[in-house]
Amino acid sequence: MILTAHQPAYLPWLGFFHKIAISDIFVVLDSVQYQKNYFTNRNKIKTAHGDRWLTIPVLTSGHLNKTIAEMNINNNTKWRKKHWKTIEFNYRKAPFFEKYRVYFETLYQKKWINLFDLLYENMMFFIKELGIKTKIHLQSEFTFKETKQELILEMCNYFDSDVFVFGKDGKRYADIDFFKKNNRKIYFQDYKHPTYPQLYDDFLSNLSIIDLLFNVGPNKAIEIIMKDNVTKSDLIRNYS
């Protein structure tokens, strides 16, 4: 059983979905502390003048003591209108933009209060569009007691998982010996970003998934995400 976990993100990048696709179970870390200036509430799209951040304003008072699930959006600004108009202006000529127009227009018409509610709706929509069949769980569904590496081990024990997929940054903090002693194998994602047709000039990587979907559509998107990268079959073969 292959397990992975990650904080939810706004309009996530391609590697986020690769990590989910190569796992049997994905745990959304909604009960961990909210991190300011992270991808939880922002991401980048492409414009004629380069990349551009889209950031959801949040009420950050007391955020050091709040989980992601407890964070609320600051609706004193017209961020929903701004995000939608920015997306529409920059992608209206993309081949598959009209396929998604109604979804995103409706998404940004709703007055979201809780940040996680929006992130979860968004994430599940993309997972469905990409045809990813990985089982999704929320951390808050369970009574996990531990933190950091001990939390990962606790989740592995609960799901009877023998392989855990870390992101690339996991190499900076994961204690490989700790997992070996507990009979758990770990894999560090080394995502090789693919190229694909984009609007405007030179290709830009590390953008939101919407850039891929608007330009190539859902049928080709997952194939592009997985191109030249490790698959679930690879992990099963190499870690069995």
The rounded distance, in Å, linking the Cα atoms of 83 and 107 is 11
pLDDT of residue 15: 98
Residue 36 has pLDDT above 80, yes or no: yes
Q: What tens digit of pLDDT does each residue of 62-94 get? A: 777 899 999 999 999 999 999 999 999 999 999
Mean pLDDT of the chain: 96
Query: Three-state SS for 177?
Result: helix
Q: What tens digit of pLDDT does each residue of 40-53 get? A: 999 999 999 999 99
Residue 172 has pLDDT above 90, yes or no: no
pLDDT of residue 171: 87
Signed CA dihedral, 151, 43, 169, 133: sign only: positive
pLDDT of residue 239: 84
pLDDT of residue 65: 82
Among 32-36, 116-120, 181-185, the least confident range? 32-36
The rounded distance, in Å, linking the Cα atoms of 156 and 65 is 26
As a three-state string, the secondary structure of 99-140 is: HHHHHHHHHHHCCCCEHHHHHHHHHHHHHHHHCCCCEEEEHH
